[in-house]
Amino acid sequence: MTKRNFRTGTLGFLFSLAMAQAAVALPANIPVAGTTNQPIGHYEFCKRAAGECRAIAKDAGPLVLTQDNWKTILRVNYDINAAIEPMTDMELYGVEEHWVYPTTAGDCEDYVLLKRKLLMDAGISASNLLITVVLQPNGEGHAVLTVRTDRGDFILDNMRNKVMLWSETEYRYLKRQSSRHAGKWVKLQDGRADLVGSVR
């Protein structure tokens, strides 16, 4: 597959992912289960950049996915993954948590912040660009960007260039920003473990 084909993709691929989602009886968008606490790193980021953490004027619902905005989503994910070197906050700043827009290096939250900013600059509403905290299979925490769309919740991840539906990833989804207020967070109901249990 050429770099250009990888970056642009097709809506046909997108729709096939949505069909796969339906086949396992999971919702295309991650269910929300009430409010929860804001991660400390995001709280500190909001103190430095209050304009990034305001109430969102209007939540018009999930992004209507088109060929053009899908290409933009793929391009931003690929370009930032290629441009930023993965390094921990301890390596960069000598502290455990420090969320910041990266220039040349950063950790998972920094990738997410920059992708979110660039996609907002491209015209996608903040209500559909949600910083999300997950657990990796090894139990370690991780941050990804959820793009909420009418075709499902898609995940932008610094550890892969492929943009996938949330249910196609190996993560356990814990919480994310509210679609109504960028400084508030909501709990997520990742029902895949329950689904596997019911099948067994």
pLDDT number for residue 57: 83
- Residue 7: pLDDT over 90: no
pTM, full prediction: 0.84
Over residues 83-94, the mean pLDDT reads 96
Nearest of 180, 160, 141, 138 to residue 39 by alpha carbon:
141
The per-residue pLDDT of the chain, averaged, comes to 87
For 3-20+29-199, CATH number out of 2.60.40, 3.10.620, 2.40.160, 3.40.50 equals: 3.10.620
| Long-range CB contacts (within 8 A, 24+) of 103-112 | 108/142, 108/143, 108/144, 108/158, 108/159, 109/41, 109/42, 109/143, 110/84, 111/80, 111/81, 111/84, 111/143, 111/145, 111/158, 112/143, 112/144, 112/145, 112/156, 112/158
Cβ-based burial of 25 (10 A; exposed 0-12, middle 13-18, buried ≥19): exposed
Domains of the chain, by residue range, sit at 3-20+29-199
Q: How far is CA 66 from the centre of its chain?
A: 18
Over residues 74-81, the mean pLDDT reads 98
Q: What percentage of the chain exceeds 70 in pLDDT?
A: 82
pLDDT number for residue 133: 97
- Residue 3: pLDDT over 90: no
pLDDT number for residue 2: 46
Q: Are 146 and 132 in contact (CB under 8 A)?
A: yes
For the segment 148-161, what is each residue's pLDDT rounded down to a tens digit?
A: 999 999 999 999 99
Render the burial of 90-110: b for 16+ CB within 10 Å, e for the rest: eebeeeebbbbebeeebbbbb
For the segment 100-115, what is each residue's pLDDT rounded down to a tens digit?
A: 999 999 999 999 999 9
CA distance 192 to 173: 10
- Residue 26: pLDDT over 90: no
pLDDT number for residue 9: 52
Amino acid at 13: F
Q: Strand, coil or helix: what is 124?
A: coil
Cross-strand pairs, 175:
133, 187
The token duo for 195 is: 């689904």
Over residues 137-151, the mean pLDDT reads 96
CA distance 100 to 113: 7
pLDDT number for residue 172: 95
Q: How confident is the model at residue 126 (pLDDT cuts 50, 70, 90)?
A: very high
